Amino acid sequence: MKKFIYSRIIFFILIATSLSSCKQPSKNDFDFSNINLPKKIIQPNISNESNVDFENNKYIKDLVPSKNRQEIISNTKFGKKDPFSKDDIKINQLNLDLRLTGFLSTKINKYAMVKYLNNEGTLTEESEGGLNTNLLPNGAKVIKIDPKNKILIINFDNNNFIFEL
């Protein structure tokens, strides 16, 4: 019985392939006779000599004059004071050397735990560098310690620096 079923399947496959090969050719042949080929454009021979009159000042009046050094310096609002200077870049050592590690709050005082130049300790709002602590550079002063928002504000060189945990 199985041989009969297999023989019928093979017979139907052979009939289907032979019938599919006898079908009409499709009309998908492309006609190349109607194609317009691009025409070759011959460019004229251009010599190195041009007919432009460089003495013509017609376009010079439309040019915008460049800004001078003082105009650019006066418009500079942040960054270097003089954009034309070469060695005016100063790296803020406070941001590089001071690391805020934590906060401690008591009923009397608020403390900020910091690490500065391999020294670890706590700062209070009365801390001043060079005066009563070695955890800040000379002249730096703690402005505010906010343990709830985890913020320490230090004034150094007339700039306020905010450290967040």
Query: Do the domain assignments include residue 130?
Result: yes
CATH number at residue 99: 2.30.30.830
**Domain assignment of residue 127, given as a range:** 94-164
**How many domains does the structure of the chain reveal?**
1
Query: Do the domain assignments include residue 48?
Result: no
Q: What is the pLDDT of residues 98-136, one digit of tens each?
A: 889 999 998 889 999 999 888 899 999 999 988 888 888
Query: Do the domain assignments include residue 148?
Result: yes
Q: What is the pLDDT of residues 46-69, one digit of tens each?
A: 655 555 555 556 666 677 777 787
Q: What is the pLDDT of residues 77-97, one digit of tens each?
A: 655 555 556 554 445 667 778
Query: Do the domain assignments include residue 46?
Result: no
CA distance 145 to 69: 43
In the predicted model, what is the mean pLDDT of the chain?
A: 78
CA distance 127 to 121: 12
Residue 32: pLDDT over 60: yes
Q: What is the pLDDT of residue 4?
A: 81
DSSP character string of 28-78: ----GGG--PPPPPPPP---S-----TT--TTGGGSPPPP-HHHHHHH--S
Query: Do the domain assignments include residue 55?
Result: no
Q: Is the pTM of this model over 0.75?
A: no
Query: Do the domain assignments include residue 79?
Result: no
For residues 156 and 58, the model is more confident at 156
Query: Do the domain assignments include residue 25?
Result: no
